[in-house]
Amino acid sequence: MNFGTLPSGEQVERVELSSGRLRAEVLTYGAIVRTLEVSGVNVVLGLDTLEDYLTRSRYFGAVVGRYGNRIANGRFTLDGVEYHLPINNGAHSLHGGTEGFDHRVWTIAGLTDASVMLALTSPDGDQGYPGTLTTTVTYTLAEDALRIDYSAKTDAPTVVNLTNHSYFNLKGGGDVLDHVIRMEAEHYLPVDEGKIPTGELAPVKGTPFDFTEPHAVGKRCDGAYDHCFVLDGDITVSAGGLTMEVTTTEPGVQFYSGSMLDGVETPYGPFAGLCLETQHFPDSPNQPQFPSTVLRPGEIRTSSTTYRFI
């Protein structure tokens, strides 16, 4: 189903998925999850028109890449060669650069009533990254869950860190400050003023970042979170009589509480939704002590994340 036409003339398609009490709409633009309904309640933030996604989006529902999150000063060195990326977040590169995967039209590579596979090829040098990267993202609705499967391969050494940037609101409206989170994460990544990790894996115990016991988003730090947590297990979020369980093969999750949404440049105000972006750590290409995000020819990088509703 056609969702609109880009200034380039490319068509953007809208795909509808359903399984049991779940319904979803996925766009080929940005591989965006536009809606995700649980028993008729839409639990993700989405926009009405393609023009809104071009001008008013804060990565709502999109797949970000090649590198989700920040790379310090927009540069990294791989095999002795320094690569330079677009600067689009203060002094740093964020979510793949100015024209990341969230701005691309993906190809439908497979489709069923409950699943869609989207494919994208990023050429060598795209946004400064080396190697031609071939990527697929598959969204599947099954057993009261949305599962996201990522796959990537390259023809030259590169770095890759794919994630989905959906904003969740389990009540279907209002703010998320009363959403209660429990996260199996004993450590988080402290950051500097530019939100670049210092390199330390700091204990959460005794800090506002301790969600090993359930806490409401707005209980501490005025609810303003935008930090990567080192996962030891699963995440649960509860609000409005609904619970979402998040499981992933990734080592970390960026918890962003939507504090910087302003209701002016975007249709949504502060704390309208929260993000749980499962991923490798920010700035890993410059921090060798972090799990590696390097991908080499002959390898296939895969990961899976499941959002299950109870």
Residue 277 appears among annotated catalytic residues: yes
Domain 2-173+243-309 falls in which CATH fold? Beta-galactosidase; Chain A, domain 5 (2.70.98)
Domain boundaries, given as residue ranges, for the chain: 2-173+243-309
Residue 165 appears among annotated catalytic residues: yes
Task: Write down the pLDDT at residue 213.
Answer: 98
Which residues define the annotated binding site? 69-70, 165-167, 226
What would the 3-class secondary structure string for the chain be? Answer: CEEEECCCCCEEEEEEEEECCEEEEEECECCCEEEEEECCEECECCCCCHHHHHHCCCCCCCEECCECCEEHHHEEEECCEEEECCCCECCEEECCCCCCHHHCECEEEEECCCEEEEEEEECCCHHHCCCCEEEEEEEEEECCEEEEEEEEEECCCEECECEECCEECCCCCCCCCCCEEEECCCEECCECCCCCECCCCEECCCCCCCCCCCEEHHHCHHHCCEEEEECCCCEEEEECCEEEEEEECCCEEEEECCCCCCCCCCCCCCCCCEEEEEECCCCHHHCCCCCCCEECCCCCEEEEEEEEEC
Find the catalytic residue in 92, 103, 165, 280: 165
Model pLDDT for residues 120-172, shown as the tens digit of each residue: 999 999 999 999 999 999 999 999 999 999 999 999 999 999 999 999 999 99
Low-confidence ranges of the chain (pLDDT < 70): none
Is the pTM here over 0.75, yes or no?
yes
Which residues define the annotated binding site for beta-D-galactose? 69-70, 165-167, 226
Residue for token pair 């779940």: 22
Task: Write down the pLDDT at residue 126.
Answer: 98
